[in-house]
Chain A
Amino acid sequence: MERIHDHDPAMPASWNRATKPHRFCPGCGHGIFLKALGEVIDELGIAERTVFGCDIGCSLLAWDFLNVDSVQTHHGRTVPVVVGAKRANPELIVIAYMGDGGGYAIGAQHLVNSAMRNEKITVLLANNTVYAMTGGQMAPTTLPGQTTGTTPYGRDPDATGQPTLGPEMVAAITSNSAYVARGSVSNYPRLKQYVRQALENQLAGRGFSFVEALSGCPTNWHTNAKQTWSYLDDEMTKYFTLGEFKTPGQAEGGEDK
């Protein structure tokens, strides 16, 4: 007799099958970012020594997403938690997973200072231009003119500044042993390659590694599938350059290779 599990879709071994289908909205980019992470954890064979930390906001929905030891922390505080764990037990592979609000606003001081100290951790940040969990308010990455819960007439850069350029900032302040890249969930092979390089940098004990992924949020963007991909590929990339910004031992760049 056929069992329903015979028809389970293929998924990384480091995914927690018991919590699938996952809790993210249809069309959300988190599932794709976490698929890249799951496949890389499998390929590198590091599930047993990996600690996955996730933030507040939609990223907290990943608290039991992976079949690896995980801790869900407070808003912006995932970086110091995994820094503490890595310093205490350097053989661990630690990942801090967060959104743009957690990394660039409430936790910006932790991102900046852990990068400055060249902490041997990996930070993965999903940039969807909004605070999604709380209902779509303006984020540090909201595009000029973009309508959000707190910019109902569109983001005015004179009053609220320009979108935060995270990888550019991290690349500027890290040493040459850091790895810094920006990918997009719309180019999965490239994003996965960046995640792999980031974790390999930590495995090699070289230093800080940081990957931002452009990610869609149709729920808060109020977009259909076509509009979502168009916003991701055509609008966001006007402000957010894709590519590697720093690879260990090389000068910083920014061009898609």
Chain B
Amino acid sequence: MTNVIEAEQRSFMTGNEVVAWAALAAGAEFMYGYPITPQNEIMHYWTRLAPKFKRGFLQTEDELSAGFATLGGVMAGRKSFCATAGPGNVLMQEPISMAEMMRIPAVWFIQQRGGPSTATVIYSQQETRLTCLGGNGEGNRLVYSTASHQEVFDYAIKAFNNAWNYRFPTFVLGDGYQAKMREAVTLYDPAQRGIELHGTSRMLGRSSKQLDGQQVRHYRNTFNIEEELYETLMQHIADWDHMAEEVVEWAWEGDEEPDLLLVAHGVVSRAVYAAYEHLKSAGYNVAYFRPITLRPFPVAALQRAAGRCRQLLVAESAYGQLLSLVRDSLYGKTCAPIEGLLRPGLGITEELVVEWAQRLLARVG
């Protein structure tokens, strides 16, 4: 395969363009897509770049088709991916549930938009619950929530590698703001950073040479007997739990016994981190926690961070989707009150977080 990035290069580009470069660098071979804002430019950049590197693209008739064709591409042995947002993410839950059942390592880039329904196209974290726990299953997925263009690049490479390593559908969860904003990013060849790209294998349609002495493979997602499904699913859950220990990621900074622990994910965590630094330099006893994997959620790490805090503030561009993950994680582990700065589909600034934090800090003063 042609080397995509010869030497490290500092670039200034949109998040969607970073996704296209990251997928190329990660060895992605095929994208199946359907237009929806704010992810369209991923397809625009991919279709410009793909022929130069002998990679493929198909624009399908809808998101159902894009998602299922991605599964077909993966089963045929190609690193394949898809990108969508909002109502497209709702439709994608159908192929994603098949990927969970058949352990198909497809990768999705989700650029969240406001909801429910058609709503808005820029700033939102309202697809947190859908991306982590959508479909009619148990949420056997891997979801990275990125906050910067550098992270989009880094975690895209990690997403492809971990998808093919653990064989669960894997997501890079961004949003319209990250998709459309331009900022600096360092593009690099993973090999030059010592990152080995995970290999692929065919699930379907092996060559006759490979077929010799091997059983033909029959993949299904239908079961006749409850116990048969239960055993299959419990094996998947055991595999997922094993993966969770190895892939779970978070960021934590600040006092171990803070008067206030600030919690946020994705692009909102940038404003919250800035607020944390502001409060810290103003002499407040505060801490900052950010889940990087939303699924698996860093439960134990959050319990440590929150175990001796006096109160928590969860900030998100949704109405309680992160908050419910935080509450679930801390149930029975803390008596500290948990407040929510909940602005579904709205931006959250450093100033707003500082204002809320100071009000809460005055309470415990």
Contact = CB atoms under 8 A, between A and B. Distances in A.
A186 interface: no
B190 interface: no
B220 interface: yes
B64 interface: yes
A223 to B, nearest CB: 26
A162 to B, nearest CB: 24
A84 B216 contact: no
B94 A71 contact: no
A87 B30 CA distance: 9
Interface stretch (B69-77, B139-147, B259-267): B69-77
Given A49-B208, A72-B222, A74-B98, A88 B76 contact: yes
Interface string A77-90: 10111111111110
Nearest to B79: A88
A73 B69 contact: no
B69 A81 contact: yes
B219 interface: yes
A22 to B, nearest CB: 14
Interface residues of B, number: 43
Nearest to B29: A88
B117 interface: no
Given A48-B208, A73-B68, A74-B98, A63 B58 contact: no
With a 10 A CB-CB cut-off, give which of A64, A70, A71, A73 has the most chain B CB atoms.
A71
With a 10 A CB-CB cut-off, give which of A68, A70, A74 has the most chain B CB atoms.
A74
B32 interface: yes
B204 A80 contact: no
B206 interface: yes
A169 B186 CA distance: 52
Contact of B205 (A50, A56, A66): A50
B interface, by DSSP: helix, strand, loop or mixed? mixed
A49 B77 CA distance: 13
Given A84-B68, A109-B61, A113-B65, A63 B94 contact: no
Interface string A106-123: 000110110000000000
B78 interface: yes
B217 A70 contact: yes
A71 B222 contact: no
A142 to B, nearest CB: 25
Interface size on A, as a range, is: 35 or more
Contacts of A60: 220, 222
B239 to A, nearest CB: 20
Contacts of B254: none
A172 interface: no
Interface string B42-82: 00000000000000101011101111111111111110100
A80 B98 contact: no
Interface of B: 29-30, 32, 56, 58, 60-62, 64-78, 80, 94-95, 98, 102, 202-208, 211, 216-222
30 contacts: A16-B218, A50-B205, A51-B76, A56-B222, A60-B222, A64-B220, A69-B217, A70-B219, A71-B219, A72-B220, A72-B222, A77-B95, A79-B65, A80-B60, A80-B67, A80-B68, A81-B69, A84-B32, A84-B76, A84-B80, A85-B205, A86-B76, A87-B69, A88-B29, A88-B78, A89-B78, A92-B205, A94-B205, A109-B65, A110-B61
Going nearest first, the 3 A-B pairs with the smallest beta carbon separation are A84-B72, A84-B69, A113-B61
Interface of A: 16, 48-51, 56, 60, 63-64, 66-74, 77, 79-89, 92, 94, 109-110, 112-113
